[in-house]
Amino acid sequence: MPNLYRLTLYYLASLEFIAFILSLFGKLPFSGWQIFSSAALLTFFCVAFNYVFARIFNAKSRIESVLITALILALIISPGSPALFLIIAALLAMASKYLLALKGRHIFNPAAIAVVLTALFLNQSASWWIGSAWMVPFVLAGGILVALKIRRLKEVGFFILGVLGLIFVNYLFRHGLSGIGHILRLAVTTSSLLFFAFAMLTEPLTSPANKNLRLIFTTLVAFLFVTPQLHPFGINLTPELALCFGNGFAYIYRKA
């Protein structure tokens, strides 16, 4: 597990650095300062809030885990977002590790539940800006290494193909074959799909350990990922909310 934390941390830090470099050449719609300052602010407050919660609950924590959450937030929340939004997101992410946990194991992906809650209470959420065509090769290359390390590459592949398949079928029934290739290309290159699948979906602590349950978990999240609204409840589904529903499923079956 320590090696996994380290590899994931290097993966996310590399994406942040690459995004910073690309921004200097005008390849991303953010300045290098915005990318750096947002990441620095999120990292500082995640570390600070985690320290406070760890002392309150007299719990051990891994600094790598805290930094991973901070970097995920930095890669899905638009650089240059208001400082208060970033600070509250950091607070909620760290709080979820201690308040929404069972026997030292958090129920929801901390970054995902944080932006779900900020969307609910602050009306500010993740933009998933990492979903850029310029970032695709780097998200893909590093993500494959991480998925191989945790032996979840099949699940990631199943999720990506499942999402693309559902998009294909939905578009086909609504619009026919015209333009379907363009839609699928956009789903891969300019959406949250790849980063979501490689960096968040397969987090060991919030996804099932059992292979059969992981298949059900992956199918559920894929379906919710491409569903714009959950009827009859009228809930607008975002990638982070889809993941939290999946995490809830994993938690229920872990207790059963």
Tell me the pLDDT tens digit for each residue of 132-167. 999 999 999 999 999 999 999 999 999 999 999 999
Contacts 24+ apart (CB under 8 A), 177-186: none
Indicate whether 130 belongs to any domain: no
Residue 256 has pLDDT above 80, yes or no: no
Residues 94 and 168 in one domain: no
pLDDT (tens digit per residue) in 206-242:
998 888 899 999 999 999 999 886 655 677 889 999 9
* Chain Cα centroid distance, residue 81: 18
Residue 132 lies in a domain: no
* pLDDT tens figures, 104-132: 788 999 999 999 999 999 999 999 999 99
Do 204 and 106 belong to one domain? no
Domain boundary among 99, 121, 143: 121
Q: How many domains is the chain partitioned into structurally?
A: 2
pLDDT for residue 1: 62
Categorise residue 123: left if φ over 0, alpha if ψ from -120 to 50, beta otherwise: left
Count the Cβ atoms, other than its own, within 10 Å of residue 63: 12
Residue 126 lies in a domain: no
* pLDDT-wise least confident of 5-9, 201-205, 245-249: 201-205
- 165 in the same domain as 106: no
The residue from 104, 121, 138 where one domain ends is 121
Q: Answer whether 241's CB lies under 8 Å from 116's CB.
A: yes
Domain identity same for 178 and 77 = no
What pLDDT shows up at residue 142? 97
- The answer to the question of residue 133 being in a domain is no
113 and 216 housed in the same domain: no
**How many angstroms separate the Cα of 210 from the Cα of each of 108, 113, 171, 218?**
18, 23, 33, 12
> Does residue 29 lie within any of the structural domains?
yes
**Sequence-separated (6 or more) residues with CB below 8 Å from residue 217:** 207, 208, 246, 249, 250
Cis peptide before 232 (omega within 30 of 0): yes
Q: Judge whether 78 lies within some domain.
A: yes
Residues 97 and 24 in one domain: yes
- pTM: predicted TM-score of the whole model, two decimal places: 0.95
Q: Are residues 200 and 95 in the same domain?
A: no
Q: What is the pLDDT of residues 174-208, one digit of tens each?
A: 888 888 999 999 999 999 999 999 999 988 889 98
Rounded CA separation 51/17 (Å): 26
Q: How confident is the model at residue 2 (pLDDT cuts 50, 70, 90)?
A: low
* pLDDT tens digits, 44-79: 999 999 999 999 999 888 999 999 999 999 999 999
Same domain flag for 242 and 157: yes
Residues 75 and 159 in one domain: no
CA nearest to 94, candidates 55, 40, 143: 55
Q: How many whole angstroms from its chain centre is CA 74?
A: 10
What is the domain range of residue 188? 151-255
Q: Is residue 192 part of a domain?
A: yes
Kindly state whether residue 214 falls inside one of the protein's structural domains: yes
